[in-house]
Amino acid sequence: MMTPEFWSIPDSTLTTAELAEKTSTLRHRLLSITEKFSDVRFATSLAAEDMVMTDAIAQSKAKIALFTLETGRLHQETVDMTKTTEDCYGISIARAYPEESDVQAFIDQYGMNGFYDGEEAKKACCGARKIKPLNAALIGADAWLTGQRREQSTTRVELNFEEHDDARGITKFNPLFDWTEEDIWAYIKQENVPIHPLHLKGYPSIGCEPCTRQVKKGEDIRAGRWWWLQSDSKECGLHVNK
């Protein structure tokens, strides 16, 4: 039986001038957000898009606070990547943890890995480990940022730069909404941005360990997220506004 060939970091045909223009636009977007809002926060997963955002925030010196969701089910590589990023940029990344009572309530109802049983259980797990901690981490903020891109999945094709997060009553920005996968990796290579170790092992998209797997070459880049569900269920609920 042949060993499958997994996704690998793509090459880019982007010229230096084209990348410079995109980089300038991204930094301008970040600074324009901080001019309009006083408490802006960025939720980073430490994956490629979010590392581009982190680098751009650091380079532009935009006043944006960073935090990450420590779900309790992350790969060790992701946990370690938080410290790597802090050391690289001389910044502090806040950790948002789930409430033990919420996690236990999920386990009592569905079992530790009950999310494999279907969409309802998956939403319940993400609710306890990701959504509630996100809500808590955004208390007091008047805007927050994501590393989402239109190209990532069918659920994001209409993504805009700015939108209103009705669920949390604040403005939400997606500064990379019009970037391609090639753009992301061209930036990372040029700016020498730290790379999450799992990207080098066939993981184009990274979430919790039991809900993320390697992606075969030619598969959709989010095929490894919640692979046992339909393609229209490849969101955890963080980016559902209502």
CB-CB contact of 55 with 147 (8 Å): no
Q: How far, CA to CA in Å, does 209 sit from each of 74, 103, 118?
A: 5, 16, 17
Closest CA to 53 of 164, 150, 174, 171: 174
Query: What does the buried/exposed string (b/e) look like for 155-168 if buried means 16 or more CB atoms within 10 Å of the residue's CB?
Result: bbeebeeebebebe
- Tokens of residue 134, six digits: 């996100």
What does residue 101 show for φ and ψ, rounded to 5 degrees? -65, -35
**10 Å Cβ neighbour count for 28?**
12
Count of residues making up the chain: 242
Closest CA to 100 of 123, 121, 140, 128: 128
Give CA–CA dist 234/225, Å, rounded: 6
Indicate if 236 belongs to the active site. Answer: yes
The residue ranges of DSSP E strands in 34-193, in sequence order, are 40-43, 64-69, 93-96, 143-145, 162-165, 170-173
Q: Which of 125, 126, 208, 236 is catalytic?
A: 236
Hey, is 185 helix, strand or coil?
A: helix
- What are the catalytic residues? 236
